[in-house]
A = this chain, B = another copy of it.
Amino acid sequence: MSSKKTITIRDVARAAGVSPGTVSRAINDSPLVNPDTCEHILQIVQEMGYRPNLMARRLSTGKTLAIAVIVPFFTRPSVSERLNGAVSLLTESRYDLVIHNIETTEHYENCFVKIPDRNQADGVLIISLSPAEPEAAQLADADVPIVLIDADHPALNMLHRVTVDDVEGGRQATEHLVELGHRRIGFVGDIIENPFNFGSSRDRFLGYRQVLEEAGIPFRPEYYVENQHGRQEARESAHKLLRLPQPPTAIFAASDTQAVGVLEAAMEAGLGVPGDLSIIGYDDIELADILQLTTIRQLLFESGRRGVELLLDALEDASKEPVHEVLPTELVVRSTTAPPLPNQGG
């Protein structure tokens, strides 16, 4: 029987023989209320099963007690893992977590002005989205604290951020390959010009270019293939590479998911890994461990957690210098990389 009349603070006050104000103080454990009275009131609250109306409280206090998280389609394991870290910390806090999923370009365009709105949320966490000029400006003068995770546009300098140095990660991956003796190294990545400005693939590619140059290995445009993010797409990209008259002896994939696609392509092409082809991924998601994939580890879960920490801090003390924290990357060698076969030399 859901014939429950909504029970308000006035009802409790009446039942307890005190004023609404006192009840309010009691349930917000204000110090200025007699312990006995307080206990009595709390007792009544219990008995009546009273639960304060959140909306009223929010309107009255001017705080939404919610933090908004903006994520691009969180299907992607790396994104989901970051979100996971964020949620895990937020659960302990008194804030509600409202999710805004960005799937379409239209969402993308609206969200940076609509979400960071004082009467939508007290703070905003943006995951793996790197708004550029027009949007970045909107963010900059939003009226709530904002923390970006995994966002790298220079226009974002005045915002709190936690990132990973993807250029460095790209370097580590490529250095590993070069040190193993590879000189024909392919790159399978995302499409660099993308509506959501995922920038990580670009930066990893930058690191790759740097190391090649430092090692005196000329960059070959045909060794670079970009495609939509995804396993299937990466498989196609890899096939393109493997069909080349002089195919690479190693491939650096911009993510573990893509590395799996490359792995599949290698199998389909009858190539042994790491014998005929070395493969390195990026992220170190669980899949990488399962497949024994050599990869660059980044602290996904940790980044979400840390982002929330920064946001919570900013909520306490709004006027704080923007913090930019960069998390480390680490090469994890497993069994998909090895020196090239001698007869394939440079």
Contact = CB atoms under 8 A, between A and B. Distances in A.
The bracket for how many chain A residues form the interface is 35 or more
A255 to B, nearest CB: 14
Contacts of A107: 91
Contacts of A142: 2
A137 to B, nearest CB: 12
Contact of A119 (B53, B117, B143): B53
Interface string A225-243: 0000001000000000000
A56 interface: yes
Interface string A110-123: 00001001111000
Interface in A154-181: none
What's the number of copies of this chain in the assembled complex?
2
A236 B157 CA distance: 48
Contact of A1 (B87, B119, B141): B141
A141 B80 CA distance: 34
A59 B60 CA distance: 10
A75 B260 CA distance: 21
Given A4-B141, A55-B119, A97-B100, 5 more contacts: A51-B119, A54-B64, A54-B120, A59-B59, A74-B84
Interface of A: 1-2, 4, 6, 51-56, 58-59, 64, 66, 74-75, 80, 84, 87-88, 90-91, 96-101, 103, 107, 114, 117-120, 141-143, 231, 260, 264, 286-287, 290-291
